Amino acid sequence: MHFKGMLQMKKNFLFTSVTCIIITAFVLAGCKNTGKNNDKGSQPPVPKVDSNNATLLKINNQIFSIPSPIQTALLIKKSGYAYNRQILNSADNYAKYDTKYKRALNLGIYGADLGYISLYDQTQDALLYLASIEKLATDIGLSDMFNPTLVKRFQQNMGKQDSLLSMVSEAFTRSDAYFKDNKQPDISSLVLVGGWVESLYFAVQASTNTQANQKDIIRRIAEQKISLQNLVKMLQPYNNRPEYAQLIKDLSGLSDIFDNVEFVYNYVPPTVDVKNKVTSINSTSEVKMESAILKSISDKIVAIRNQIAG
């Protein structure tokens, strides 16, 4: 009897141990996958990246930054390009976006539009686009970020360009955080894609304008090569969904054209101002892009943007 009891205890212990190990493995896997989608099994393999002191480098620990559309809009304005309402996605189009996928992409597009409008102090257009953003945002669960209070604050700060840009950026940063907190990094990625596509669309429109400093704008277009590669990598985990797959295919096609852009980088040691906590990055870079490639990029981005905006 005593022997049987011991055997039973051992069995229980073994069972408990195995169960705990399995559950713990799942918990740790869940921890590691925080912020990523649940369809990881269908992801294409992502190459590991070599880096100093890195012991565990995989897709979960690679985070891709997409430059703010406001940065390109700032450059366009600085280049002397006059405000052009025609290049914006119509504020009335919001009603056409009937899926979360379309709403997220076009929220990004409208966000870039609002940033552009704010730079040029176009009060009426700003309120019009803010209203469309509010509607789209509410439809995808962002009513806390884009609400009447934001609209009121926006109205009160009309004419204060820096304040308006900060408000737009903060609202989109909070949206990004919301999607990440709520396990919707796919939606977060779509908003970023929309904003990036629209800012490149602005740039190609401005690049043909003879009044603007085309050289800087064309350079900025060429500099999108790596950002585009990052965008495609960011979307890859969702490649098993048809609408994402089409978007990835379109962006990959654009990336293929960008492969013809030559980026020449020369490292120059940085200098540091410790007192003011500023490091000057002194490295230089040049881009080489033939006009035929610029034309191909322009045609492709117009097609992608119009496909998204509808």
Partner 1 sequence: MKNRITLLAIFCGLMVSCISASAQCDSIANACAKRNMDPSFISDGQQYRALLVNADETAEFHVTFYGGTIYRLAACSGMTDGNLIFTIYDSQKNVLFSSGQYQNAPYWDFSVKSTVDCIIDAQLNPTTNAGSGCAVILIGFKQL
Q: What is the DSSP letter of 264?
A: E
Q: Is the dihedral of CA 27, 33, 39, 40 positive or negative?
A: negative
Q: Which is nearer to partner 1, 58 or 96 (CB)?
A: 58
User: Does residue 89 sit in helix, strand or coil?
Assistant: coil
CA distance 257 to 255: 5
172 neighbors 86 (Cβ within 8 angstroms): no
| Nearest to partner 1 of 21, 245 (CB atom) | 21
**Cα 26 versus chain centre, distance:** 30
Residue-by-residue DSSP string for 119-165: HTT-HHHHHHHHHHHHHHHHHTT-TTTSSHHHHHHHHHTTT-HHHHH
- Work out the burial of residue 145: count CB atoms within 10 Å of its CB; fewer than 13 is exposed, 13-18 middle, 19 or more buried: buried
Q: In terms of C-beta density within 10 A (0-12 exposed, 13-18 middle, 19 or more buried), how is residue 191 classed?
A: buried
CB neighbours (10 Å) of residue 168?
Answer: 25
Query: How many Å apart are CA 130 and CA 122, to the nearest integer?
Result: 12
> If DSSP codes are grouped into helix, strand and coil, which group holds residue 186?
helix
Give residue 118's Cα distance to chain centre: 20
Q: Of 246 and 284, which CB lies nearer to partner 1 in the complex structure?
A: 284
Least CB distance from residue 140 to partner 1, whole Å?
16
Least Cβ distance, residue 95 to partner 1 (angstroms): 25
Contact 300, 251 (CB under 8 A): no
Nearer to partner 1 (CB atom), residue 43 or residue 169: 169
Question: How near is the Cβ of 98 to partner 1 at its closest, in Å?
Answer: 25
Nearer CB in complex with partner 1: 111/237: 111
Q: How many residues does the chain have?
A: 310
Nearer to partner 1, 85 or 112 (CB): 112
Considering beta carbons, is residue 89 or 118 the nearer one to partner 1? 118
Q: How far is the CB of 224 from partner 1 (least distance, A)?
A: 9
Output 29 or 303, the one with its CB closest to partner 1. Answer: 29
The distance of closest approach from Cβ of residue 245 to partner 1 in the complex, given in angstroms and rounded to an integer, is 23
* Shortest separation between residue 186's beta carbon and partner 1, angstroms: 15
- CB 67, min distance to partner 1, A: 6
Minimum distance from residue 132 beta carbon to partner 1 (Å): 18
Integer Cα distance of 163 and 140 in angstroms: 26
Residue placing its CB nearer to partner 1 in the complex, 1 or 281: 281
